[in-house]
Amino acid sequence: MSERVIVLVEDNADDEELTLRALRKSNISNRVVVARDGAEALDYLLMRGQHDGRDQREVPQVVLLDLKLPKVDGLEVLRALRADPRTKALPIVILTSSAEDQDVIAGYRLGANSYIRKPVDFTQFVEAVRQLGLYWLVLNQPLP
């Protein structure tokens, strides 16, 4: 049986903790794999580098992708994931503080499934994460 994980790609420790707290508060119990830069995210998702040979039954249910990342930025991560047949259909939600129109446009053009600007208020953020979890982990029908 496959384990459905959430991949959180976030370099800011405070935002990482905030997201993990919001997931717990929303009773989302899926295991969360955290990548702290774009290169680490690509290695995990494309099963290369230190993640070469990882358990293939560990299937990401959704990727929560920040844009402003060290090493490889979020848009490049998105481009690489959409170019690989193994991750081409993987649900990717951009979860970022960027409200720049060019980031929103580029994200959708590169194949993001959704673009969500992180609310500053924790209560709003928890509600946004709860709705994300409800949709992507419960309602959405993943590829078999």
Per-residue pLDDT tens for 78-128? 999 999 999 999 999 999 888 889 999 999 999 999 998 887 677 888 888
Residue 30 lies in a domain: yes
Domain that residue 20 falls in: 3-136
Q: Are 132 and 28 in contact (CB under 8 A)?
A: no
Q: In 10 A of CB 86, how many CB atoms? A: 11
Total domain count for the chain? Answer: 1
Using CA atoms, how far apart are residues 126 and 142, in angstroms rounded to an integer? 24
Per-residue pLDDT tens for 71-83? 999 999 999 999 9
CATH of the domain at 29: 3.40.50.2300
Per-residue pLDDT tens for 10-61? 999 988 998 898 888 888 888 999 999 999 999 999 999 999 988 877 879 8
Residue 127 lies in a domain: yes
